[in-house]
Structure 1
């Protein structure tokens, strides 16, 4: 058996310098010399971390594939017709046809490579802070950057587990690589599920420890740090919602515990976030009417962590359509009115702000039929200032307070507690008069439909199906009579790329 390295990224691994947040500069093949230059100054560390965040926002991962397209296809969010679409990657992933080489495997290979590229950049930052951290004179800033790098590695490694790993509690076992390496000569170690989770816990704990006493969010509100600086906070520590700040790391921890099945621990952490205060006010609340009245569809006011993506509308409307009226059956992604109506069964659509603001049902396909498309990544450029667009629209949500409330609800041990949280949740969605839950089982049954609605085109539904090992998922719903799609344990386990060492299926490892 020939063991492959994480070959898709390590052979080309170099960190980039930035002249600003938007410009990549020189890329040199001499990695050792590059490291020496990159990490000789505090600015070099800032630039390296910004570069890693920019890589996270790449369209090949969270800028598209892991939020809007491929990951949502795995969850059957889109209504695709095999006869009419040229979106072959999404079609094969929707069918969970992981044997397809030209499209499904190519998409998976790209996602895997890009995730490990981000991880490698985070590892390089961690390594160089340990070796040359004194280049950053302020220890609070040094520890904050280091904490962010640990959190970034954990964020990506958790999604590798959620995508490629075994179903929690399932019968099929999978080993995965957890990379703490920076060089092409080092092969990352592979771990079984429990050992992998321990690595995740350790990284998250390390990030929390580094950020707890150093992150400005522990002293200032997010609003205070969103550019309203009186000079007391270093400019590099502003705009903390676009960085893996302390509260984002806590949210990541809650997400992890929920995924591995420890709902009690997840809910405990979620309640800590909900109840947290800074200067006498909540650290973060859920988005309500104000975001949508302003024209924000991605709930920026409740994002504990988002990625900045200035061109997200430019490229996404080529396939998500947004506010446009023309829908291409060949290339566009949308759903039928049947599916939209099925998604909101039992919901008060008269006042529900997500329902009212996040959908365009006026798109017309090639046959003159209505299609429903999401408008989350679309906005009226003439109605918003450039600053409003930058911080309210040009983003990719990564961790939101709505998810934190759902985690707290799902892990609630009393119906009273669940309904108290649910009332706040409904209030933010402008449906406060909807009835309470009548049982904890009703709370559990609410989760999949709500993740489907709330995080449409944000990439969370497939992982929800998987952690709950759902035996059926909602299909394309091309007609009112369509049945759910049956799922097996194998359907939830995306195979590692064939180019990589794979202890789970050695006969297929090159």
Structure 2
């Protein structure tokens, strides 16, 4: 794989000042936001299509090379699938990892050039990003921990030289992610404040950087994926306990004013360049294949809870059908703090993890009710969930993933983590997709299989 850094500027020039390190980090976030990665395919594009988030006809039109016939299973080996969608994710994420490794290879020997707390901040962000990117590669290109066994799947790359690194087991890859996150947590703990504004531009809008709470949130996600429920619960609670000092739930007023992705709840998000055009090409361009959802599907997903912010403000009916507004830039100035924000880790996920991993059913129900109340679903005691058993709790968690993470790619991973044998159709009339290992696990690029 090519893990050389994205930048072509000579190292002795790029890393001569702390500003050079800042620019490398900024470039890393920009690269992550490309349409082939989190700017489309790993969020509202391919991953949500694979999770059957859109009408089968529209999703299969846009992703026909993979999704094939209306009743067929997904085919990642079909002509064009790898080259168009699969390989660019592998190559793109590893290229960004190379960029972080290049930074990490230079930072300790230049520690003296940093002012304030910037050394800890820069190095902590780079380590956290390396773990984040490897974990998503693992979730895509390896089976779930429950089925992976001792086979090796992806390399954990710690150098930026274009050399082959050995592929590791799922267990070893997760251990490497957690090792990087432990160090990132230590470094970033020196400054835990979440800011929107600061005199120092490098400290502005912390949510668009891999910050201390992103480390905690990613640990909770990883432990949950790995079935380590006690640890998942512990780290999810650490984030929850930061409310309201560092996070606050959104309000109806904020949503009406354009905060459709609930920015105040983001643990980590990207500001996507050219988001307006990317969104319009997928959802709003009448002359292009358009991902759609039907009103009947929405009524089913949101359980006819018409007071739910996620129903009222994420969807709009028009003569052309139902428009997905959550990621729309309609009515937002490019300079708005709500514009072009793509959440990759969010507060609500921590509540769902705490609910799933809690050993007390009443506490688990409390965490779900907290999110539901802050989405407009609970207007009084009569609307709260009560008296759930474990099976009912699991069903309520699934309902929340369906409502909460539209356009963010997380539902596919949810089904994979829990080993759903079928990916449910959008409506009862749509075919469910048999979710074999080959559906949940993307193929590694041929060049990597051949040892290049």
Q: How many residues end up aligned between the 2 structures?
A: 445
Q: Residue in 1 aligned with 2:259?
A: 296
Provide, for residues 150-186 of structure 1, a one-character-per-residue CA deviation record: whole Å limited to 9, x for no partner: 00111100100111111221166442111111112x3
**Whole-Å separation in 2 of the counterparts to 1:398 and 1:162:** 14
231, 237, 248: which is aligned to 1:285?
Answer: 248
Residue in 2 that maps onto 1:91: 67
1:292 touches 1:357 (CA, 8 Å); kept in 2?
Answer: yes
* Structure 1 CA distance for aligned equivalents of residues 404 and 152 of structure 2: 30
Aligned partner of 1:342 in structure 2 is 300
Could you tell me which residue of structure 1 aligns to residue 281 of structure 2?
318
Match of 1:367 in 2: none
2:122 matched residue in structure 1:
145
Distance 1:135 1:363, change over 3 A: farther
Are the structure 2 counterparts of residues 260 and 83 from structure 1 closer, same or farther at C-alpha, using a change threshold of 3 Å? closer
Deviation at residue 235 of structure 1 after TM alignment: 2.7
Aligned-partner SS, 1:40 = coil
SS in 2 for 1:170: helix
Q: Decide whether aligned partners of structure 1 residues 95 and 332 sit closer, same or farther in structure 2, where only a CA change above 3 A counts.
A: farther
Distance of aligned partners of 1:489 and 1:132 in 2 relative to their CA distance in 1, 3 Å threshold: same
Which residue is equivalent to 2:355? 409
Mapping for residues 364-379 of structure 1, pairs under 5 Å: 364=320, 370=321, 372-379=322-329
Aligned to 1:133, what secondary structure does the other structure show? helix
Work out the CA distance in 1 between the residues paired with 2:448 and 2:59.
33
RMSD value over aligned CA atoms? Answer: 2.3
Q: Which has the larger radius of gyration?
A: 1
User: Which residue, out of 228, 233, 240, partners 1:262?
Assistant: 228
Kindly tell me: are residues 481 and 239 of structure 1, through their superposed partners in 2, closer, same or farther at Cα, counting changes over 3 Å?
A: closer
What is the CA-CA distance between 1:318 and the residue it aligns to?
1.3
1:114 aligns with 2:92: yes
| TM superposition score normalised by structure 1 | 0.82
User: Residues 376 and 312 of structure 1: is their aligned pair in 2 closer, same or farther, counting only changes over 3 Å?
Assistant: same
CA distance in 2, matches of 1:70, 1:386: 26
Alignment partner, residue 471 of structure 1: 421
Cα offset, 1:276, TM superposition: 2.4
Give the SS at the match of 2:155: strand
Aligned to 2:182: 205
Residue aligning to 2:345: 399
Is the 1:296–1:392 contact (alpha carbons within 8 Å) kept by the matching residues of 2? yes
**Distance of 1:260 and 1:393 partners within structure 2:** 34
- By how many angstroms is 1:310 displaced? 4.2
The verdict on how the C-alpha distance between 1:132 and 1:489 changes in structure 2, with shifts beyond 3 A counting, is: same
Matched with 2:21 is 45
* Whole-angstrom CA distance in 2 between matches of 1:181 and 1:341: 49
Q: Which residue number corresponds to residue 139 of structure 2?
A: 162
Q: 1:41 and 1:108, CA in 2 relative to 1: closer, same or farther beyond 3 A?
A: same
Q: Give a deviation string over 1:413-469, Cα, whole Å, max 9, x none.
A: 112212222221111111114231422321112222321221111010111000100
Q: Is the 8 A contact 2:6 2:99 kept in 1?
A: yes
1:97 touches 1:104 (CA, 8 Å); kept in 2? no
> Which runs of 5 or more structure 1 residues have no equivalent in the other structure?
1-5, 17-26, 29-33, 365-369, 503-508
Question: How far 1:312 moved relative to its partner?
Answer: 0.7
Query: Once the two structures are superposed, what CA deviation does each residue of 1:122-144 show, in whole Å capped at 9, x if it has no partner?
Result: 11111110232222244x21011
SS at the partner of 1:398?
A: strand
Deviations 1:188-211 (A, max 9, x none): 221111111110110110110111
Q: Is the 8 A contact 1:88 1:103 kept in 2?
A: no
Determine the C-alpha separation between the residues in 1 that align with 2:384 and 2:17.
Answer: 57
Contact 1:363 1:373 in 2 (8 A): no
Structure 1 residues 35 and 501, CA gap change in structure 2 (3 angstroms): farther
Q: Which residue does the alignment assign to 1:459?
A: 409
> Is 1:276–1:282's contact at 8 Å kept on the other side of the alignment?
yes
1:236 corresponds in structure 2 to 202
The answer to whether the 8 Å contact 1:415/1:440 transfers is yes
Tell me how far apart the structure 2 counterparts of residues 44 and 178 of structure 1 sit (CA, whole Å). Answer: 26
| Aligned-pair CA distance for 1:70 | 1.3
In the alignment, structure 1 residue 351 sits paired with structure 2 residue 351: no
Q: Go from structure 1 to structure 2 and tell me whether the alpha carbon gap of 1:385 and 1:494 turns closer, same or farther (over 3 Å shift).
A: closer
Given the superposition, is the C-alpha separation of residues 192 and 86 from structure 1 closer, same or farther in structure 2, using an over 3 Å criterion? closer
How far apart, CA to CA, are the structure 1 residues paired with 2:401 and 2:19? 40
Residue 336 to residue 90, structure 1, CA distance change in 2 (3 Å): farther
Match of 2:396 among 446, 466, 487: 446
Match of 2:49 among 54, 70, 73: 73
Match of 1:19 in 2: none
1:77 deviation in Å?
1.7
SS in 1 for 2:30: helix
C-alpha distance 15-493 of structure 1, shift in aligned 2 (>3 A): closer
Q: Which residue of 1 aligns with 2:384?
A: 435
> How far apart, CA to CA, are the structure 2 residues paired with 1:61 and 1:90?
17
Residue 226 (structure 1) aligned with residue 182 (structure 2): no
